[in-house]
Amino acid sequence: MLKTRTWILLFAAAALALGLLSWRLLGTPVEGTVVEVVQDGVVLREIDLSAVREAYSFVVTWPDGGSNTVLVEPGRICVAEADCPDGLCVRQGWLSDRGAPLVCLPHRLVIRLKGEGALDGVSR
């Protein structure tokens, strides 16, 4: 009987820990989640994702005529369309309150988290 009760308590504790971890990792964006849209080392825009109320998009052009369409929604941002040869930036998906930056190498575009909580490299 004691063994069964112990297993039940261990299972409940593990389920609670897993639930808290999932909520933390998949939860709503952290207040003040700011991203920078940078092209060729120049910051074009800073966007507070927690302040976005309605979806909108904008186009970033490169001097050679190439372009990326950036889609911003409440709590997240992505490259929705690009005319670069490989289209990897589009397939990277959404950036929210954590994660690796979105990068389009042909157009030298980087969308990255700014400040605390942002990745400063691949080693995190």
Asked if residue 67 has pLDDT above 90, the reply is yes
What is the average per-residue pLDDT within 12-27?
Answer: 67
Query: What integer pLDDT is reported at residue 32 of this predicted model?
Result: 62
Better-predicted residue by pLDDT, 97 or 27: 97
Cα 94 to Cα 14, 60, 88, 99, distances in angstroms: 29, 17, 13, 9
Query: What integer pLDDT is reported at residue 2 of this predicted model?
Result: 61
| Segments making up each domain of the chain, as ranges | 1-29, 34-114
User: What's the rounded Cα separation, in Å, for the pair 111 and 85?
Assistant: 19
Query: What integer pLDDT is reported at residue 27 of this predicted model?
Result: 53
Better-predicted residue by pLDDT, 28 or 13: 13
What is the average per-residue pLDDT within 12-18?
Answer: 74
pLDDT digits (tens, 9 = 90+) for 31-58: 568 999 999 999 999 999 989 999 999 9
Query: What integer pLDDT is reported at residue 48 of this predicted model?
Result: 93
User: What's the rounded Cα separation, in Å, for the pair 92 and 73?
Assistant: 16
CATH number for region 34-114 = 2.60.320.10
Written as one string, the DSSP assignment of 65-101 is S-EEEEEEETTEEEEEEE-SSS-HHHHT--B-SSSPP
Lowest mean pLDDT across 4-18, 57-71, 83-97: 4-18
User: What's the rounded Cα separation, in Å, for the pair 83 and 57?
Assistant: 16
User: Can you give the length of the chain in residues?
Assistant: 124
